[in-house]
């Protein structure tokens, strides 16, 4: 017997929501504020209370990360007693990590109870559940959501440390259960756009703060951390993650250009010695507001995206930020890059990419075409696209004129 809810959705039954519970991909305490996920949620949190739930089962993988075993154990044991912590007036973070000694079903019930308590503190009664981490499926129905959004922006099933069967089952369930499935990559949406998601799949590409970024590019201010770094400077801003950042390719290109300085600003999730080269500088993570001036202080931006199936989901925020700042961009090939032909230098091997980086740093560059390509694509526009997609499904902000 079919369980499809399409006929009900076609009648557009209005379902108001008064807050968002987001099961996130990242650690809400420290970084990733500049990520696609956080940028969208920040926009939505300006309109309704938002509870961000992290540490739920799996995260993007690390390869010899810095967190110690003792720290992980301490967090697991303390997690059930932690309350949500306020980040700003309308945004709180709850760490959902459970002790491995607690059986899965019991752990899910404990987490759901903690989430409901945090919802009461934020006065959320009818939540819109936003799912970036697929293993959150175990808690969704217990929250009695007004609706569900599945953010399909990472290929979690490709993360080697995750339970493949559990993750793929959760993804399939979410694609059926969600009211809308949000993709930032058209390629992945096309690959997965079968009957289970065809009517609910939405491509919402990354946004960009063009006025702020272009102003930084036109009037660059040298950050203190770069004043002693020789030019030409080749920059990368973002996390160095083993599934997405090609460490070998990056260091190979750097070694072919010994007179250039390659600067990485972001959390390093691979052993630092794998990036060891005389002309590579690791400066640590940046606040999102500082990214613009760091990019503006570079002569080119390099995106060493790692080859593999993950590229189907790839559409980095950094690409549009670099175009908005007005610096030349060099990248490995990935499907979404087809929309930026003529704006980005693309190659596949060390020698080609090294030559492209050299040319990008020394040839004249006109920032106007790149900025024109991203004009009108602010994060507020992307948030409105999400709200419109929800409205089509009858999901509206409580108290809105549509309700």
Q: Are residues 158 and 292 in the same domain?
A: no
As a whole number, mean pLDDT of residues 341-365 equals: 98
Question: Per-residue pLDDT for 236 more than 90?
Answer: yes
Distance (Å, whole) CA 83 – CA 92: 10
CB 344 within 8 A of CB 374: no
In a domain, 157, yes or no: yes
In a domain, 402, yes or no: no
353 Cβ contact partners less than 8 Å away, ≥ 6 residues apart: 249, 253, 302, 304, 330, 332, 347
Q: Measuring CA to CA, how many Å separate 166 from each of 22, 52, 134, 183?
A: 20, 22, 9, 21
Q: Are residues 306 and 326 in the same domain?
A: yes
Q: Are residues 152 and 242 in the same domain?
A: no
In the chain, what is the straight-line distance between the N-terminal and C-terminal CA atoms, in Å?
32
In a domain, 107, yes or no: yes
Q: Are residues 202 and 219 in the same domain?
A: no
In a domain, 111, yes or no: yes
Q: Are residues 251 and 345 in the same domain?
A: yes
Residue tagged 């059930």 (tokens): 80
Peptide bond into 29 cis (omega under 30): no
We report the CATH number of the domain holding residue 350 as 3.40.50.2000
pLDDT digits (tens, 9 = 90+) for 247-290: 999 999 999 999 999 999 988 889 989 998 999 999 988 888 89
pLDDT of res. 291: 92
Q: Are residues 173 and 303 in the same domain?
A: no
pLDDT of res. 5: 43
pLDDT of res. 150: 96
Q: Are residues 252 and 386 in the same domain?
A: no
Q: How many domains does the chain have?
A: 2
Residue tagged 């106007």 (tokens): 368
Q: Are residues 201 and 237 in the same domain?
A: no
In a domain, 403, yes or no: no
Q: Measuring CA to CA, how many Å separate 121 from each of 84, 85, 114, 124, 199?
A: 9, 11, 11, 8, 35
Q: Are residues 356 and 384 in the same domain?
A: no
pLDDT digits (tens, 9 = 90+) for 16-57: 999 999 998 766 555 456 789 999 999 999 999 999 998 665
Which range of 140-144, 176-180, 300-304 scores highest in mean pLDDT? It is: 300-304
Which range of 77-86, 147-156, 159-168 scores highest in mean pLDDT? It is: 147-156
Q: Are residues 191 and 320 in the same domain?
A: no
- Classify 342 in phi/psi space as left (phi over 0), alpha (psi -120 to 50) or beta: left
pLDDT digits (tens, 9 = 90+) for 158-172: 776 567 788 889 999
Distance (Å, whole) CA 365 – CA 122: 49
As a whole number, mean pLDDT of residues 217-244 equals: 93
In a domain, 368, yes or no: yes
As a whole number, mean pLDDT of residues 348-377 equals: 98
In a domain, 52, yes or no: yes
What token pair was written down for 340?
């930026």
In a domain, 1, yes or no: no
Q: Are residues 119 and 219 in the same domain?
A: no
> Which residue range(s) make up the domain with 142?
6-207+379-397
As a whole number, mean pLDDT of residues 362-378 equals: 98
pLDDT of res. 28: 54
pLDDT digits (tens, 9 = 90+) for 290-309: 999 999 999 999 999 999 88
How confident is residue 63, by pLDDT bands cut at 50, 70 and 90?
low
Q: Are residues 55 and 193 in the same domain?
A: yes
pLDDT digits (tens, 9 = 90+) for 96-129: 765 444 545 677 788 899 999 999 999 999 999 9
């Amino acid at each position: 017997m079919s369980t499809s809810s399409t006929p009900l959705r076609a009648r557009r039954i209005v379902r108001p929501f008064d807050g968002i519970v987001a099961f996130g991909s990242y650690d809400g305490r420290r970084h990733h504020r500049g990520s696609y996920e956080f940028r969208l949620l920040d926009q939505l949190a300006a309109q309704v209370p938002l509870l961000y739930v992290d540490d739920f089962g799996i995260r993007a993988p690390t390869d010899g990360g810095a967190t110690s075993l003792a720290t992980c154990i301490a967090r697991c044991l303390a997690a059930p007693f932690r309350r949500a912590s306020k980040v700003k007036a309308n945004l709180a973070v709850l760490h959902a990590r459970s002790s491995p000694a607690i059986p899965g079903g019991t752990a899910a019930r404990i987490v759901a109870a903690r989430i409901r308590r945090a919802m009461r503190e934020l006065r959320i009664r009818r939540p819109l559940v936003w799912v970036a981490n697929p293993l959150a499926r175990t808690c969704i129905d217990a929250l009695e959501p007004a609706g569900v959004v599945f953010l399909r922006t990472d290929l979690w099933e490709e993360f080697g440390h995750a339970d493949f069967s559990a993750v793929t089952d959760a993804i399939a369930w979410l694609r059926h259960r969600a009211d809308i499935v949000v993709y930032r990559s058209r390629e992945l949406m096309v690959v997965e756009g079968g009957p289970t998601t065809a009517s609910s799949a939405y491509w919402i590409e990354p946004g960009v703060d063009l006025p702020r970024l272009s102003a930084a590019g036109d009037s660059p201010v040298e950050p203190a951390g770069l004043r002693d770094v020789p030019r030409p400077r080749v920059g990368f801003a973002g996390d160095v993650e083993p599934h997405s950042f090609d460490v070998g390719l990056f260091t190979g290109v750097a070694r072919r250009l010994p007179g250039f300085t390659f600067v990485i600003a972001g959390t390093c999730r691979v052993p630092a010695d794998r990036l060891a080269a005389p002309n590579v500088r690791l400066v640590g993570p940046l606040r999102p507001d500082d990214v613009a001036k760091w990019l503006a202080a570079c002569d080119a931006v390099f995106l060493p995206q790692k080859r593999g199936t993950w590229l189907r989901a790839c559409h980095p925020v950094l690409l549009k930020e670099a175009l908005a700042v007005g610096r030349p961009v060099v990248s490995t090939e990935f499907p979404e890059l087809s929309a930026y032909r003529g704006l980005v230098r693309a190659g596949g091997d060390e020698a080609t990419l090294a030559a492209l980086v050299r040319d990008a740093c020394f040839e004249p560059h006109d920032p106007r075409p790149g900025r024109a390509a991203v004009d009108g694509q602010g994060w507020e526009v992307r948030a409105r696209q999400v709200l419109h997609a929800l409205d089509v499904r009858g999901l509206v902000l409580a108290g809105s004129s549509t309700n």
